[in-house]
Amino acid sequence: MFRAGTPMASYIKNSIASRKMEIIEQIKEKLKDKILDFFKKNEQRYYITVNPEDIVNVSKILFSELNLRFATATGIDTPKGIEILYHFSHDTTGKIFTIKVLITDKKKPEIESISKIIKGAEWIEREIWEMLGVNFKNHPDLRRLLLAEDWPEGIYPLRQVDRD
Amino acid sequence: MKRTIIPIGPYHPLQEEPEFFRLYVEGEKVEKLDIEIGYNHRGIEKLSESKHFDQVTFLVERICGICSTSHPFAYVQAVEDLAGIEIPVRAKYIRSIIGELERIHSHLLWLGLAGHFIGYNTVWMWSWKYREPVLDILEFITGNRNHYAMFKIGGVRQDIIKEDIPKIYKMCDDLLPALDLFKGAVMDDPVIHARTKGVGILTKQEAIDYCVLGPTARASGIDIDVRRDDPYAAYPLVDWKVIVMQNGDIFDKAAVRILEMYESVKIIKGCLEGLKKEPEGDIDAKVKEIPPGEGIGRHEAPRGEVFHYVRSDGTNRPVRHKIRAPSYMNIPSNQVAATRGTISDAVLTLAAVDPCYCCTERCAVVDSKTKKKILTGEDLIRLSQEKTEKFRAKINK
């Protein structure tokens, strides 16, 4: 009736050990010329910087070809511009690959939407749009998610006004 | 046929997360579902930037009232990942015990609500009755029935001494017959089969597209569980299994949760055995400063993976703290799961992802020709319960 998963100990032995190198090599090879910076924080956490123009292709490769799971995205307002981190999880090894993009134009930040490829990214893009004012081009349904309807236009709660 | 819009929500006294659903129905069939959230937006991510690292643990504990330990669990791991802190083994065991006790009480709560929605009030009362001892044991260990305040960066705040262990063991042993009872009540009952099998199906491909998590994903045949995939706390030190089922309907979602509670009991017992071998009192890595950098922490909460990202610039506060709860990914999947059924199944389907959902108050059927008819939350539950009665009568004939 139901299929129980593999017991803990044998799972670690078989799955993680044998596939340890594989996925990193695959990602490095497929993204080759798109990688601006590859940073290994520790065995389980990797940070890859790419150009904002490449984000659709990169997500296509990671999500559709390499079957990584899209965990979420983080928008950060930094002095250099608006950073968006797309966190992808590789569930057989438990590694997280974070794709970093930096949008330097803070006046009118724009990036291509990845919701066409990943349905689960729809809400988080709407959230980043209302919280940081990043326009996601070709988003199917870009409207407010969390903020109230009467929240004033052009005020973005997660922008760092004080620290500038 | 006329298209009718049924708004559900956003507030109901039973639920702790207000959401607003707009069901577009034609006759009995649900055609489209529109989801609105944001009624409970408290700006915790922003607040977190103004608190120092230790205070944030208490702040994130208050995100959810049911799975209150999930967020501190993921948060402290994010900071430990950022700073490269290794915590004592004893603290790992205690963290896992708290995490699993919480999973049991959360699943029992869901089971009770699901039972109530389909008109099995006995299941509701019994499962909440057996949830009480779990809360009592959490109070016994931590001093609180909820919001345990057990977690800190680098370890836990309180120890479980060896005199406490038999009492926790006894609770586990007492719980097992109750779980057998629920397993029998849900899995062998023809009426529950009729109401839940093949209802609210989320296929494997849809589950992948919507990136769903936790029991919702595992019921659709996706074998993911952060506790096993990205081992943390004491989960790699004890033996247990991940429950995966294939059909993606409400029955499978319920079955995954019920069977998971057995695994939780197994993990708690394994952790208690482990605690006996470790020296008492060694529960804190004594963290002093948080260096600049970034870290990601994950925890498999009762509803799925909780995801925390923390960035530090070397001061005593995070510059950015991103929080992603599992329901954030699970609720949008209702757009496909609920649109295949009828209105009387919708309440149950929406509840099946366990979005802390009971928001059927303030619900009105609006006819397209401006004739308004008010349908309260009770009416919706009544619709659902009547359907069960019909099945029951048919089967008992």
Residue B386 has pLDDT above 90, yes or no: no
CATH number of the domain that residue B365 is part of: 3.30.390
Residues B225 and B351 in one domain: no
Least confident of A16-30, A100-114, B191-205, B373-387: B373-387
Cis bond upstream, residue B10 (ω within 30): yes
Predicted local distance difference test score (pLDDT) of residue B16: 52
- Our count of domains for chain B comes to 2
pLDDT band at B385 (very low <50, low <70, confident <90, very high): confident
State the CATH architecture for A8-108: 2-Layer Sandwich (3.30)
Tell me the per-residue pLDDT of B219-258, one tens digit each, with 9 for 90 and over. 999 999 999 999 999 999 999 999 999 999 989 999 999 9
Whether A155 contacts chain B with CB within 8 A: no
Between positions 50 and 89 of A, the ones with CB within 8 A of B are 69-72, 74, 76, 85, 87, 89
Classify B112 as helix, strand or coil: helix
Residues B17 and B162 in one domain: no
Inter-chain touch A12–B239, beta carbons under 8 Å? no
CB atoms within 10 A of CB B367: 13
CA distance A101 to A54: 9
User: Looking at B328, B356, B377, which one is the last position of a domain?
Assistant: B328
Using a CB-CB cut-off of 8 Å, the residues of chain A touching B259 are 2, 4
Inter-chain touch B37–A146, beta carbons under 8 Å? yes
Distance from CA of A95 to the nearest CA of B (A): 7
Residues B323 and B365 in one domain: no
Inter-chain touch A122–B332, beta carbons under 8 Å? yes
Q: Which of B82, B296, B298, B299 to mutate to test the interface with A (most CBs of A within 10 A)?
A: B296
**From B46, B225, B238, residue closest to A157, measured CB to CB:** B46
DSSP secondary structure, B151-189, as one string: EETTEESS---TTTHHHHHHHHHHHHHHHHHHHHHHHS-
CA distance B375 to B361: 9
Residues B317 and B183 in one domain: yes
For this complex, say whether ipTM is above 0.90. no
> What dihedral do alpha carbons B98, B100, B103, B109 form, nearest 10°?
-80
Residues B261 and B215 in one domain: yes
Residues B94 and B203 in one domain: yes
Mean pLDDT of B269-277: 94
CATH number of the domain that residue B298 is part of: 1.10.645.10
Residues B385 and B258 in one domain: no
pLDDT band at B158 (very low <50, low <70, confident <90, very high): very high
Using a CB-CB cut-off of 8 Å, the residues of chain B touching A76 are 311, 319-320
Predicted local distance difference test score (pLDDT) of residue A2: 44
What is the distance, to the nearest Å, from the Cα of residue B337 to the centroid of all Cα atoms in its chain? Answer: 18
pLDDT band at B17 (very low <50, low <70, confident <90, very high): low
The H or E element spanning position A98 is strand A95-103
Inter-chain touch B38–A144, beta carbons under 8 Å? yes
Inter-chain touch B209–A122, beta carbons under 8 Å? no
Predicted local distance difference test score (pLDDT) of residue B354: 64
Inter-chain touch A85–B309, beta carbons under 8 Å? yes
Residues B246 and B358 in one domain: no
| Chain B residue at shortest CA distance from A77 | B320
Distance from CA of A119 to the nearest CA of B (A): 5
Predicted local distance difference test score (pLDDT) of residue B297: 95
CA angle B332, B335, B338 (to 5 degrees): 120
Residues B313 and B341 in one domain: no
A23-27, A111-115, B369-373: which is most confident = A111-115
Predicted local distance difference test score (pLDDT) of residue B3: 79
Using a CB-CB cut-off of 8 Å, the residues of chain A touching B252 are 2
Q: Which of A37, A64, A91, A141 to mutate to test the interface with B (most CBs of B within 10 A)?
A: A91
Residues B289 and B361 in one domain: no
pLDDT band at B189 (very low <50, low <70, confident <90, very high): confident
Residue linked to tokens 């990205």: B230
**From B211, B239, B255, residue closest to A69, measured CB to CB:** B211
Predicted local distance difference test score (pLDDT) of residue B140: 94
Tell me the per-residue pLDDT of A25-81, one tens digit each, with 9 for 90 and over. 999 999 888 999 999 999 899 999 999 999 999 999 999 999 999 999 999 999 999
Tell me the per-residue pLDDT of B305-334, one tens digit each, with 9 for 90 and over. 999 999 999 999 999 999 998 888 888 888
Using a CB-CB cut-off of 8 Å, the residues of chain B touching A6 are 241-242
pLDDT band at B365 (very low <50, low <70, confident <90, very high): very low
Q: Which of A15, A78, A97, A119 to mutate to test the interface with B (most CBs of B within 10 A)?
A: A119
- Per the prediction, chain B carries an average pLDDT of 85
Structure tokens at B71: 């967020």
- What pTM, to 2 d.p., does this model score? 0.88
Cβ A19 vs Cβ A70: under 8 Å: no
Domain residue limits at B267? 44-328
CA distance B379 to B29: 17
CA angle A134, B56, B80 (to 5 degrees): 90
The one-letter amino acid code at A78 reads T
Residue B149 has pLDDT above 50, yes or no: yes
Q: What percent of chain B has pLDDT over 90?
A: 53
Predicted local distance difference test score (pLDDT) of residue B342: 81
Using a CB-CB cut-off of 8 Å, the residues of chain B touching A94 are 226, 229-231
pLDDT band at B260 (very low <50, low <70, confident <90, very high): very high
Cα Rg of chain A, angstroms: 18
CB atoms within 10 A of CB B154: 20
Inter-chain touch A119–B209, beta carbons under 8 Å? yes
Predicted local distance difference test score (pLDDT) of residue B372: 43
User: Looking at B290, B307, B328, which one is the last position of a domain?
Assistant: B328
How many contacts does A have with B, using Cβ atoms within 8 A? 121
What is residue B342's DSSP assignment?
B
User: Looking at B283, B312, B328, which one is the last position of a domain?
Assistant: B328
Residue B388 has pLDDT above 80, yes or no: no
- b/e burial code for range B258-270 (CB count within 10 A of at least 16 → b): bbbbbbbbbbbbb
Tell me the per-residue pLDDT of B87-118, one tens digit each, with 9 for 90 and over. 999 999 999 999 999 999 999 998 888 888 78
Distance from CA of B36 to the nearest CA of A (A): 7
Tell me the per-residue pLDDT of B281-294, one tens digit each, with 9 for 90 and over. 889 998 888 999 99
